[in-house]
Structure 1
Amino acid sequence: MRFLFLLLITISLPVLAQESIVFGVHSNTAPLEWRNNGVDQGFNVELMNRIGQLTDKRIIVRRKSFQQLVKDVHNPNSDIDVIAVVSPVNIDRQLAQSDPIYATHAKAYTLQGKALINNWADLVGKRVAIKKGAFVEVFLSDHLQNFDRVDVDLYETGFKLLTKNQVDVVIAESFVARRLLPLYPSVRSSSDALIYGAFNFVANGTKAKQMYQINEALRQLKISGEYDQLVNKWFGTGREKVDLTSTDNRLFAFVILVAIISAVGLVYTGFISASLRRHTKALDAELIQRKRIEAEISELSKQFQSVLDGIPDGVTIVNKELQHLWSNDNNIHLLVSDEFYYIDHDVFILRMAVLDVLTSQKSLTADMVYQQQFWQLQIHPIAQEQVVILLAESTEQHRLRQANEEASRLASLGELSAGIAHEINNPTGLIVHAVSLFTAAIKDLTPAASHYQKQNPFWLIAGLPPDVAIDELQHSCGTIEEGSKRISRIVNDLKRYAMPHIADEYTQVCLNDVVQVAQRLTANQTKYHQITLKLSESSPMIKGDAQQLHQVLINLIQNACNACLAEQGAIVIETSIEDDIAILSIKDNGCGMNSATLKRITEPFFTTRRNEGGSGLGLSVCSKIIKEHHGEMQIQSSIGKGTQIRLTFALAQ
């Protein structure tokens, strides 16, 4: 596994008695850092300084080669304690790591006017700049590349090559790109996120104590709100489209220039007025000169207006009657669209919003939704019965916030699942042991009860005849045993969901064998349905864990059986090979799923069979196992037509 290491630079005075944390660094330009007048600064620098203060540790930075850092982090005797890593979210690690710190992503950038990049297929045949050592390169190392790759040392080098038409596309990390875009106005963002990454601290397993202290410091920063302040300071909104500071400076320069020219005009006007009284004969020449000056001022005014029109965000000034007094016409049509509403789905009516702001004389700021995009709306009162409306797209910030919240939620869910599984296992074991004892006891007591009933025909057990009571007890024991087994299955699913992945245990597995074993283990469920196997003659082999793959296919077969009507269900299981990809497909003609269910089908604890005993962990565990095997799961379903689930894996070399 390869990592992209971020630059962590801290300055601390040597104190002999103070313990230290040594960070290994391999790059002078980490993606989330930059320099100001030669001084390293950024989110990571401030974060590490605060961690050092909270843990009372001295932060030491040692620079080494990439290969040496990889060896050091796996060597318990190394002089390196911790490294920082940004890697694609689908890459697992065996080393100790901190809580998620921040989520990021990379996407495509092209010149203005070029076609948008909708997916990886749009890069075929293009010259694509990739930064060496970046997490983009880590991701591409495990994915087939169908484009002409151009390696660069920095993302900025890629942007320079793009402006010179020496490359067609740059795939860059978003935080760095947002800093570069104001410097390269001919470059634009041309795609949604193509790769998602997560930022963590990583250490050798022997450094568990230090990692625990770092995690405690991180949690303290998050609880106190200081972490959010750092995030807002370095990654806050407003940097995506326009560098507001430089824009303000340019606008201020224009205003100063207009003011100077206006002052010059006033001087000239005074001079002309005085000259009219003294020099009547020079009136025509002075009038021509005045017209020339007015033309210059008008030209500057037009230039100033063009700057305002060039702002990508919508700016509109309206009065109480909603008449547009001025507008740059950017995205203003959204204000009157029926599909433009508040993020909580309340209806947005422009007239009511404007009247509320004018009445209260207080600004309105709200998050809005339009189709699949997110926007921030601001309405500010200005002159009498006039407001200025600002409209800026915030889709990227919203998605980053969602990704960060999802990473934190899943981390907490994994810890909760492991704790619940441990607490439930003990009483479940007692129940199973007791039921086994009761079943054996009832079996031994049955002849004695029959003998005693012959001597005492009126003898009752719990108000029931002995033979009926014995049957009821046996049935109750069977019910308790079945319930305890169901609890055990749910606990095992919870443990499996929270269990870390160990890739070193993978061996070569034949998908045809996985299908045949799963069919035998589900024979009792599938006997009421028509099962068709279409197994590839070339026996697709993949690297994986056979038992885990059995669990995935058994779960999918059981779901297919539950979706089909008895004696009318048809289930087709097929294996095949396409290029270097092994494919396992299971298709049924059951009830199918709607789009809302499809979006949540792999969420933990989500189930449509709650009343029938479903735990909602089956597909979430399957999804986790497939991701651990570096595979993909595609689900297609229609109400009344059935469902097809297609699993793809890389063929074993």
Structure 2
Amino acid sequence: MRFLLLLLIILSLPVLAQESIVFGVHSKTAPLEWRKNGVDQGFNVELMNRIGQLTNKRIIVRRKSFQQLVKDVHNPNSDIDVIAVVSPVNLDRKLSQSDPIYATHARAYTLQGKALINNWADLVGKRVAIKIGAFVDVYLSGYPQNFERVDVDLYETGFQQLISNQVDVVIAESFVARRLLPLYPSVRSSSDALIYGDFNFVGNVKKTLLMYKINEALRQLKLSGEYDKLVNKWFGIGREKVDLTSNEQRMLSVAMLVALVCAVGMVYTGFISASLRRHTKALDAELIQRRRIEAEIFELSKQFQSVLDGIPNGVTIVNQDLQHLWSNDNNIHLLDSDEFYYVDNDVFKLKGAVLDVLSTQKSFTADMRYQQQCWQLQIHPIAADQVVILLEESTEQHHLRQANEEASRLASLGELSAGIAHEINNPTGLIVHAVALFTSAMKDLTPAARHYQKQNPFWLIAGLNPDIAIEELQYSCGSIEEGAKRISRIVNDLKRYAMPHIANEYTQVCLNDVVQVALRLTASQTKFHQITPTLCEPSPKIEGDAQQLHQVLINLIQNACHACSEQSGSIVIETHVEGDKAILSITDNGCGMDSATLTRITEPFFTTRRNEGGSGLGLSVCSKIIKEHQGEMQMLSSVGKGTRIRLTFALESQD
């Protein structure tokens, strides 16, 4: 027993006496080493074991957290001699470190579908996960950070937070990320290398000599080619170790499958191509047909547009906001003119008319006036918010209609008036003759009545005192005579209205003289009103009958006086020349006329002054006289705003 114990002690002395190197290893997914089935393995572990053999030192592997390893390597009294870390290429460490073992880099990782990170500027404002103490952390400590930094203990923690949307980007070392990506398929590499670094062995502050020996052993391995064998074993031409044989078999199977799929695809593609060629030919034929039809439609549209543009009437399509959707631009300016109004002088508002048509969905037709023209306006609904507006000048039709109506009335009234004049003239003459006899008799009987009254003081005539009775009889005779004369004048006006005039008796007449004569003859009526004659010089001259023109203007002045109040009545009489026309107009600020009155004002026997003794023949006779002079009478009037009558005659050449 003692011998065996002594033998064991002797055999164990070299082992106990052999120096060791304590190699600190990261306990979770270290870059170049890991534990599989409880056994430490990996590039760094195998490399460190080979260095131990060359330096005749035993390698002891101790697993700790990365943060603890960093603290231990800075602690002179720690039990860790060497660790493997990554250092940025542009950063010098104060600790002893070996020659570079392997180059690496760090890049940005994001979720699939997110934008790529092209440079550090793309990280501004984002939440970026950084592993505490990693070479990315060391690198960023010397640079300003324009992003929101989120510290994590492991790169895997950063990937988990990325998936749960706690961070936007993870900056991770490539070897670690490459191991993690298969575990997190929703994460992808989103940038080129942002930081470059090297793997190094870093020694404790008291292990400078040990680091020298490690470097010597590392260089010896590189020179002998054994280092390259280790790299090829664990990384395989710069990547993680792969089984090339099985990989080749898999690739061959995949290639055969791809070839089969390609063959099937070529057959299918040929079938599809033939089908597409047939469809293409059919589509080309259809396209040619459509182009031909479009050309015909375009030509027809041009012809239709030419027809619409050639229509003298205005055609416009507008919506409820009065936007012009289409127009042939003929007379469309009238719709926005202040001088475009209804024939009864009411104001026209296009907006209100369009909205009424759209709300009722019923067509609207109205007779309108613009300056001296007559127009017919039609608005028809064509959609829920669109109408078509038609404008047609109807001046000639309006005049023809008026002339036809007036001709019809004249035809009936002419025949009627001739019979009335004949029937009334005879009894009227008898009345005048009898009244003249009664008047003369009353003069002769007056002295006899007075003499008889003296003899018979109680004598009465028709129940009245003889003097009073005789006075009443004389007044009644005067009234009867005045009424008979008035009947005679009406009959003469009626005969003049019905009787044609001989135009060859006309002479040259100065309109200014007609105005002056008419004003003198109506001085007793116009003295209560403000009369303003505006006569142009030289005086316009026309061909006509001065006496008849005097009658026309006198009648118009009397009507204006009747329409105006005595306190504020104003009458303007004006003569002027427009081209080859002589114009005589009379304007008052009287009571005016409504549209119904204005329509009938020249009808025989129509009067608004029946209670004041008006016969209704004045304006009828005036209208007939003006037409006999080849003239035109236009009347504009509004209730409460006055009346303007414009007489137009052909202008005679000036001497």
Q: TM-score, normalized by length of structure 1?
A: 0.41
